[in-house]
């Protein structure tokens, strides 16, 4: 029995070590919080692999299991938030469930409101999970905040989520006075996939003459596209972090399954290599106007990137980095589905790697592999729809003033920069800030863990709203 206890303790220690073993650059903000985030993702990988192995007939089981895992113990919001000027309650806006925060003490005049869309890759997340962030925003802004419980994939594939966002926002605009809200002073905001939702809602409300236009849009490290997986930030993240955190394979896995319900390794490999589009489309003006890498600031796109890592045993993550990033060999370790046991097993097998990575070499768009007409014919209508791809909007003039926060160490960094450029081309005033050392998810964790740069990001957004609402 004693030996069993020792053995169990060793296994637990090894497992915890595996979860927390995350080689990272020395200039990353709040490294241990990042490690905790990555540990959560690793645990999610294990849950995914086990559920798919044990019950392959129910591929949606792993998503339901992940939702349960990340929301265990989360309480329902209190009607009266203790120690604050807020009340909280659930309601339905034209059938869409929303969480409403309202100030207890408010002026007799109509006040502004903020509509918030949580992140989570359109498959995870909830108003409860993002409750700390939305409560902080509502308290700081002293206005009504509506957090939208939009439908999630894969049970409800896109555009279900954006459709719900539009319906809920339109309802609030139409019934604003009933809530004591000025319909001309409503902001939409969101993080990650919620940033995509906020951008889509902003554009669709702008095009709807039956309701007032939105006042402001606020996007935290938004995910805005599933077309170009070789932007400079994708290449740099591959080079620096490999397959940890929100990696290329993670993003592609979400796209393949949650958008197209495909657990298909071959399809995912094509997407990771930008081969889900046709060659003609990748050379088209429409694509290059949205994804011209030259619009990414030179210091972000082409700068040498040599980092010292905190852990000399950087394991499998930086294997083969002496070659340029977009080579097919670099995606071979992720060639199996990110939802399969084989991809999990490969991530557990370390190989030697240098303590210091080579200089980062940006690979220009011309070096990408050719397209695939077959895949493109199946998915082009979906991708070219403005409800899916806000970057493809031809005319951005007249859209609301924007605050866009990008995280320097985020694989999605360039999505926000592309959208900043697109809005500016239409004459929209954009307050864009790239937070050095920040990573994907830092705004929400910043509130929970008091991460300075995450708090800074949130406070900058609050100041922007207060100054412009």
Where b means 16+ CB within 10 Å and e means fewer, 339-349 reads bbbebbebbee
- In this structure, the number of other CB atoms found within 10 A of the CB of residue 261 comes to 13
Question: Nearest-5° angle of CA 163, CA 264, CA 327?
Answer: 105
126 is catalytic: no
* Distances 34 to 20, 232, 407, 433 between C-alpha atoms, Å: 10, 22, 13, 21
**Tally of residues, the chain:** 469
Q: Which two tokens stand for residue 252?
A: 């592609």
Listed in sequence order, the residues at least 6 apart from 194 whose beta carbon sits closer than 8 Å to its beta carbon are 116, 117, 118, 119, 120, 125, 220, 222
Query: Smallest Cα–Cα separation from 181: which of 207, 237, 143?
Result: 143
User: Residue 85 region, left (φ>0) first, then alpha (ψ -120 to 50), else beta?
Assistant: alpha
DSSP 321-338: TTS-TTSGGGGGGG-S-T
In whole angstroms, give the CA distance from residue 118 to residue 149.
Answer: 8
* Distances 332 to 12, 173, 276 between C-alpha atoms, Å: 30, 49, 17
DSSP 187-212: EEEEETHHHHHHHHHHHHHHT-TTSP
Q: What does DSSP assign to residue 259?
A: I
In sequence order, which ranges of 242-372 are alpha helices (DSSP H)? 248-254, 260, 265-272, 279-282, 285-291, 298-301, 341-347
Give backbone dihedrals phi and psi of 108, rounded to 5 degrees, phi first. -70, -25
For residues 426 and 395, the answer to whether their CB atoms sit within 8 Å is: yes
Annotated catalytic residue within 192, 249, 334, 343: 192
Dihedral angle over CA of 268, 200, 378, 272, nearest 10: -20
In sequence order, which ranges of 153-275 are alpha helices (DSSP H)? 160-174, 193-206, 232-241, 248-254, 260, 265-272
* HSE, side-chain direction, 13 A CA sphere, residue 276: 25
Q: Which two tokens stand for residue 329?
A: 């060999």
Active site residue ranges: 192
């Amino acid at each position: 029995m004693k030996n069993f206890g020792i053995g169990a303790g060793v296994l637990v220690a090894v497992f915890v070590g595996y979860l927390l073993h995350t080689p990272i650059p020395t200039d990353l903000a709040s490294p241990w919080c990042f490690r905790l985030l990555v540990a959560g993702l690793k645990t999610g990988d294990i849950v995914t692999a086990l559920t798919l192995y044990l019950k392959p007939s129910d591929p949606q089981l792993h998503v339901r299991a992940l939702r349960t895992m990340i929301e265990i113990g989360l309480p329902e919001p209190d009607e009266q938030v203790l120690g604050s000027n807020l009340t909280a309650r659930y309601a339905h806006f034209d059938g869409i469930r929303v969480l409403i925060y309202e100030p207890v003490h408010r002026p007799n005049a109509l006040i502004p409101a903020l509509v918030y869309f949580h992140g989570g890759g359109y498959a995870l997340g909830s108003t409860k999970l993002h409750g700390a962030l939305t409560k902080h925003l509502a308290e700081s802004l002293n206005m009504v905040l509506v957090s939208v419980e939009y439908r999630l994939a894969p049970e409800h594939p896109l555009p279900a989520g954006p459709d719900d966002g539009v319906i809920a926002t339109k309802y609030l605009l139409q019934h604003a006075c009933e809530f004591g809200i000025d319909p001309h002073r409503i902001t939409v905001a969101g993080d990650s996939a919620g940033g995509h939702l906020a951008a889509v809602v902003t554009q669709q409300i702008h095009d709807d003459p039956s309701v007032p236009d939105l006042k402001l849009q606020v996007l935290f490290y938004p995910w805005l596209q599933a077309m170009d997986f070789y932007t400079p930030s994708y290449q740099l993240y591959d080079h620096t972090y490999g397959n940890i955190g929100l990696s290329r394979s993670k993003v592609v896995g979400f796209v393949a399954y949650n958008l197209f319900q495909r657990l298909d390794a071959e399809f995912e490999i094509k997407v990771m290599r930008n081969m889900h589009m046709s060659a003609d489309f990748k050379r088209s003006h429409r694509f290059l106007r949205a994804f011209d890498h030259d619009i990414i600031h030179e210091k972000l796109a082409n700068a040498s990137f040599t980092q010292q890592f905190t852990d000399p045993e950087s394991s499998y993550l930086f294997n083969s980095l002496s070659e340029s990033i977009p080579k097919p060999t670099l995606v071979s370790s992720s060639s199996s589905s990110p939802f399969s046991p084989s991809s999990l097993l490969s991530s557990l097998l370390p190989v030697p790697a240098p303590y210091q990575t080579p200089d980062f070499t940006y690979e220009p768009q011309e070096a990408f592999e050719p397209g695939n007409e077959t895949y493109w014919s199946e998915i082009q209508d979906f991708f070219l729809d403005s409800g899916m791809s806000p970057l493809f909007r031809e005319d951005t003039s007249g859209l609301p003033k924007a605050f866009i926060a990008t995280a320097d160490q985020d694989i999605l960094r360039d999505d926000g920069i592309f959208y900043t450029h697109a809005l500016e081309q239409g004459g929209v005033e954009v307050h864009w800030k790239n937070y050095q050392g920040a990573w994907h998810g830092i705004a929400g964790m910043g509130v929970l863990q008091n991460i300075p740069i995450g708090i800074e990001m949130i406070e900058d957004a609050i100041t922007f709203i207060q100054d412009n609402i």
